[in-house]
Structure 1
């Protein structure tokens, strides 16, 4: 897991491929916050992102997911959330795929969490379990951009 802020990319020490994606002018924080809900993909690129509003809820009500083929870059555009995560690779867990590249863990032990506010991001590599949209103090709406980056793009 890597964390940072879109307005301070250099501090995140990102792999060059991810730094290049997040440095694209169209995915700057100031541009992302202006976008309507939907899916966006730059012509000729295999990575894409979706923008939308989501409701946070108690940790006990949230699922824990992981992916095998894509890195997840979760960017908060407005509001705040807590994302629970575990520093363990679960990519070989024998769990069924719920939808394309989406796997759910049952009863995970997530020992870590990160509090994200507007502009902050967290990057989860394939196999890294994460539990997004956990509320901070009470359920609220959070606006996010979620990037999906094929694992083969990052060396």
Structure 2
């Protein structure tokens, strides 16, 4: 997992072949004006933008998730978004089977930590990062970029 400000995102482009293309997309997009929806960026990259009222930690942690085939770059565009996190290696209570169609596996484990992103900050979740997003009381606008592993 990586947490930083968008202003520093260029430091991470060497970590994956598609990260520089993802950053180009972010930099060329008016994040405040982009509408909710799904956007195809290029082969192996797609973006999902949503604006919703945050949920309780209990609601979010009911869908404590990770992915096998995608890396998530999650950007807080507006608001404050809290996440639960735990290393996949430390999770022992899978909740159902892995869904290859949606590339998601859920766990009944509790997060080992929580952190909050503010506007203009991002987190990168790798397949070993189990996460519970969208925790908050107010409106959160975010972008999730799915990067094919």
Any conservation in 1 of the 2:67–2:103 contact (CA below 8 Å)? yes
Counterpart-to-counterpart distance in 2, 1:38 and 1:129: 24
TM-score normalised by structure 1 residue count: 0.80
Distance 1:19-1:100 versus aligned 2 partners, 3 A rule: closer
> In structure 2, what is the equivalent of residue 105 of structure 1?
107
C-alpha separation in 2, matches of 1:15 and 1:52: 26
- Greater Cα offset, 56-65 or 81-90: 81-90
Unaligned runs of 5+ in 2: none
**How far apart, in 2, do the equivalents of 1:35 and 1:94 lie?**
34
Aligned length: 144
Report the equivalent of 2:52: 54
8 A Cα contact 1:6 1:22, kept in partner: no
The answer to whether the 8 Å contact 1:80/1:118 transfers is: yes
Tell me what 1:76 maps to: 76
What is the CA distance between 1:141 and its match in structure 2?
1.2
**Bigger fraction of residues in strand:** 2
Structure 1 gaps of 5+ residues are none
Aligned to 1:148: 146
Please report the RMSD computed on the Cα atoms of aligned residues, expressed in angstroms: 2.5
TM-score scaled to structure 2, two decimals?
A: 0.82
Seen in structure 2, the aligned counterparts of structure 1 residues 70 and 37 have a Cα distance that, compared at 3 Å, is same
